[in-house]
Amino acid sequence: MAMTAGKGVTFARGFVAGAVAAGVKEAGTARLDVAVIASTAEHCHAAAVFTTNQVIAAPCLVTKKNAARGHLRGIVVNSGNANACTGPQGERDALAMATAAGTLLRVDPEQIAVASTGVIGVSMPMARITPAIGRVALSESGWDDASRAIMTTDTKPKVAQREVSLSGGAVRIGGIAKGAGMIHPNMATLLAFVTTDALIDGAALRPMLRSAADDTFNAISVDGDTSTNDTLLVLANGASGVRVGTVDGPAFLDALTAVCLDLARGIVADGEGVTKVFEVRVAGAASDGDARVAARTVTTSNLVKTAIHGADPNWGRILAAAGRSGAKVEAAKASVRIGGIAVFDKGAPCAFEPAAVRAVFEQPEIAIVVDLGLGDATARAWGTDLSSEYVRINADYTT
């Protein structure tokens, strides 16, 4: 499996993209805010996972229906407005976006996925969006504009890709994503679009996507908030002519997961107000579920996040978070390491130099290991510190 640079959603053969400024983010400016991603191959399978928030945005409702048919030719997406909590008109607007993109691609609107991100509860400026979709110029070089058009409070685009050799030849997987706040996916305002030229149908792709999401997007958190708009879409157009056979499944899944992980970690690193990213690895859990919930609870603990931000060696917060996670935890068997420094071992605190732990917490990337001593299950999750800048950004979001 090879990592290569550039192109993202157009790295896979037979995909094009483009973006325009429609004035959704800010009327009268040149800021890109409407993008289209499309397969030039007619037969394109699709798989998707969505937010589990019970307040679900209109684009997700439309895309769920269209993706359920198993085939999608394109994706239309806007930033600057989430089209969430917008009533029946919101769904009509999402359908209108699908219709406009379908006209652009000369396909039925039911073959279009729709995604939106931005402010909740504001009507869509469709008088600007609909004609803008018709102006999108699609090309293999349009990936960069598309990656920037979907950004809101992001400071940089998130792009990833892999090429993997299967028994019948090489296939490509690429993707783009956006997300900086309201990041605690449980697919699950996170959007991720992945394309591949592998020959694989939706029935095989769907469980692979769920598995990849569980180990990547569902293992990151910036602020513990699950968005109304979280959407992860994969389009597979078979343009390589290389089929993902039974023997190739693990290799393809590894490559798909690697692309998703690159995008997910890019989102965490670019989180609102983030100065540090920390990885929590839980080992020795009684079950996979316990390992995952314990790791994720540590990453979302505000006490852990603020301790890391302030470089406070208060390791007890880590163990306390694991203990309240719902996972089976026995303090007498548990151990905690911070950057390789043992601070708690099999139920007893360790003698350590606080300045050494402070030095670890002052680094931009931090590794924490919690060994529960109860089994063989492991899991990883990624979180961020919680800074005053995060509060400032979200206190001023609509103003």
Catalytic residue annotation: 189
Residue 119 main-chain phi, psi, to 5 deg: -75, 135
Residue 87: partners with Cβ closer than 8 Å, 6 or more residues away: none
Length of the chain: 399
Chain centre to alpha carbon of residue 279: 16
> In which element (H, E) is residue 101 found?
helix 87-105
Buried b (16+ CB within 10 A) or exposed e, 202-231: bebbbebbeebbbbbbbbbbbbbebbbbbb
3-state SS assignment for residue 17:
strand
**Vertex 318 angle, CA 312 and 322, to 5°:** 165
Q: Which conformational region is residue 53 in: left (phi greater than 0), alpha (psi within -120 to 50 degrees), or beta?
A: beta
Q: Cβ contacts of residue 190 below 8 Å, gap of 6+?
A: 177, 178, 179, 182, 183, 217, 227, 229, 230, 231, 232, 267
User: Following CA atoms 91, 54, 118, 235 in sequence, which dihedral angle do they give, to the nearest 10 degrees?
Assistant: -70
